[in-house]
Structure 1
């Protein structure tokens, strides 16, 4: 099996490349930044005009990770050009080149940014909560239409927050906070939130790339067990060999402070509820997460990939 990975030098992409190299005859890599010393590497500016034909020759499966996130750009048109037009352009050229399968890494944001009493299902009505999530949803719809018209096998994966050594974004902020602060304010936090360890996600993506039953499915990717931010940071501290004390600060006060500081999305992501049902991955693929959260957090002190 010959696989093309876009975004191969990103956080998830580096893990996925190593994992797929164990499974596949050849893995090709594409990214938008310059790094030409890599073997089987292509530099591509991902948009509606990208020419993918050279790196699609003989490819069986594409795993499309590359995108521009809302925290990297405020330009809605640019986000749409890369995440929607660029994705669909790649899929159309994939059809022309004889690619059989397209695995699209979307976002749980397509479902929404929080759940109250309910749990997100793969069949839940989409409710994108920002322009990034909307772009991922639009790309999903476009890919499904291409698949329906051409026979290209489409697999969609919507990960929850991805964590692991050197993870970017809020996980990195939390890691630094746990390393430096002896106290955290989550003593009263009772929210329930799903996460996914990067090696669990890459394991799922490998199955999506090769399993005969994967096409046509949407998978909500998680470790399979929701936890509170208190539990999450306690496990993180244990993995980092740090002792912390959880101070009982009311959640409402922390959310109020996040609004005052203009950090509403961060407050919601840390303190809100977001639960998903990821059991269809086991039903369809026979896949279960190979690592527990405790095992995943233990990798933080190793500080290696």
Structure 2
């Protein structure tokens, strides 16, 4: 087994990856919290100046998950520069040090936001599309990808990039968890008529499986991979599945999509409404063909575990 360094191990995706690896003898950790078990660990942030050499020695592959994450209401005076400090400059600092330490492969968990925000009235995003990020988080991730690939050509470290859409599973927070709880209360929700859009999601279990494949698969080097469960759903279908896995009646009522869009314009919340009524699909054919990989878990499996929230 390859010796691995994981960043962001205390977060949602990183925690699931750590659990899925089983044996942790060959795992080093980099992060701001102290791990519950005894690993070689460096307590540090991802930034342009920190020294990570103590946890890079003897490592074969880095799985870089840590990031300054996207938030709906950012209070920073210059959000883009704050994102760049961590997600772009910090990532490049880590990658350069990894290459200097002899690390063979750098797996970067990026974001579908590099492609854009919506596929409403267009085809699904693919790896062939030109990056078109629309917010500071997406820009910082796109710049990191570009600079990592350039670094790979410059000094030879193998770079693998994974762009997930919304990730869910046990322990998920934010809007997905809130909607799951509302459905679980048996409340009548106004989403039954939002049945024409399509959204790609990825369970953390499928994402972790792909990350594990990318750590040492010979075809992964130098590639960008989009990932999803392979089952795109409308908002109405998503709510119906949330009701099913919680054994609750689906009490959604048919409020037309135009009502949501009108409310979005009135209250300047068009972006939120588009996430609810619009589409965001990804084409994972390149991932499947290049790696001979298919999502091993169904969307229903992920939804069932997502409703079992950690305390």
TM-score (norm 2): 0.92
- Deviation of 1:47 after TM superposition, in Å, equals 0.6
Give the corresponding residue for 1:188. Answer: 193
Q: State the Cα deviation string for residues 56-91 of structure 1 (Å, max 9, x = none).
A: 011110111000123174332111100000000000
Q: Is the 8 A contact 1:36 1:43 kept in 2?
A: no
In structure 2, distance between residues paired with 1:219 and 1:255: 32
RMSD: 1.8
Greater shift in the superposed pair: 66-75 or 276-285: 66-75
Q: Is the 8 A contact 2:235 2:277 kept in 1?
A: yes
In structure 2, relative to structure 1, the CA distance for the partners of 1:58 and 1:168 (3 Å cut) is same
Give the corresponding residue for 1:39. Answer: 38
Give the corresponding residue for 1:171. Answer: 176
Give the corresponding residue for 1:58. Answer: 58
SS at match of 1:184: coil
Q: State the Cα deviation string for residues 73-118 of structure 1 (Å, max 9, x = none).
A: 4332111100000000000000110000000011101101001231
- Deviation of 1:237 after TM superposition, in Å, equals 1.4
Q: Is the 8 A contact 2:110 2:141 kept in 1?
A: yes
- Deviation of 1:46 after TM superposition, in Å, equals 1.1
In structure 1, distance between residues paired with 2:230 and 2:175: 20
* Structure 1 runs not aligned, ≥5 long: none
In structure 1, distance between residues paired with 2:145 and 2:22: 27
The aligned length equals 303
- The 5 Å alignment of 1:243-254 reads 243-254=249-260
- Deviation of 1:299 after TM superposition, in Å, equals 2.0
1:105 counterpart = 2:138: no
Q: Is the 8 A contact 2:168 2:306 kept in 1?
A: no
TM-score (norm 1): 0.94
In structure 1, distance between residues paired with 2:285 and 2:249: 34
In structure 2, distance between residues paired with 1:61 and 1:21: 17
In structure 1, distance between residues paired with 2:293 and 2:87: 28
Q: Is the 8 A contact 1:165 1:304 kept in 2?
A: yes
Greater shift in the superposed pair: 176-185 or 201-210: 176-185
Q: Is the 8 A contact 1:155 1:216 kept in 2?
A: yes
In structure 2, relative to structure 1, the CA distance for the partners of 1:294 and 1:95 (3 Å cut) is same
Greater shift in the superposed pair: 206-215 or 70-79: 70-79
